[in-house]
Each structure stands twice: as structure tokens, then as C-alpha cells.
Amino acid sequence: MSPCACAGFGDFDPAAHEAEVQALVLRHRDQIDTWFHPCSRERHHDLAAMYVADTCITRNLDRIATGFASYLSEVILAS
């Protein structure tokens, strides 16, 4: 996993915090599963791909921090 390119995350390196990042990925998936629809690992990966393939979703996520959609997609796909 490459260092985070998100402006809001500075030089945060996900690889240096792998356990915490993966715990947050699981929490993200659990929230989707609880509040929206069943979310298997495979479905979560499909959503992650959509975060960067659909420009509307990318634009919305990147309002959090520049590059956040790519970062979120990358860490989910690495799980």
C-alpha cells in the first residue's frame, strides 16, 4: 500500500498503521451491512471500485479530503 495521497491526511502511511486501517475498513463494511444492505467482502470490494469509477461518487468522497476516494478504495481492496 502506498503512502496516502490525501491532502487532509498529510504524510499518513497506511502500511505503518495496518491493523488500525483494517479495523476501520471492517467497521466501514459493518456500518453498510447494518444500515443499508448486506455487505460481504466481495460487495465491499465492488463498492470500493465504484468509489473511483463513478465520478459523482469520487467527487462526493473527495469533499472530505482531496484523494480520499482513491485512498478509501485502495485500503478496502487491500483487505
**pLDDT tens track for 49-60:** 999 999 999 999
Q: Rounded to an integer, what distance in angstroms lies between the CA atom of residue 36 and that of residue 58?
A: 19
Total H helices, total E strands in the chain = 4, 0
Which pLDDT belongs to residue 1? 43
* Rounded average pLDDT over 8-14: 61
* Rounded average pLDDT over 11-32: 83
- Name the grid cell of 8: 487532509
Which pLDDT belongs to residue 4? 52
| pLDDT tens track for 24-51 | 899 999 999 999 999 999 999 999 999 9
Q: Rounded to an integer, what distance in angstroms lies between the CA atom of residue 33 and that of residue 51?
A: 17
Largest CA distance in the chain: 34
Higher-pLDDT residue of 3 and 32 is 32
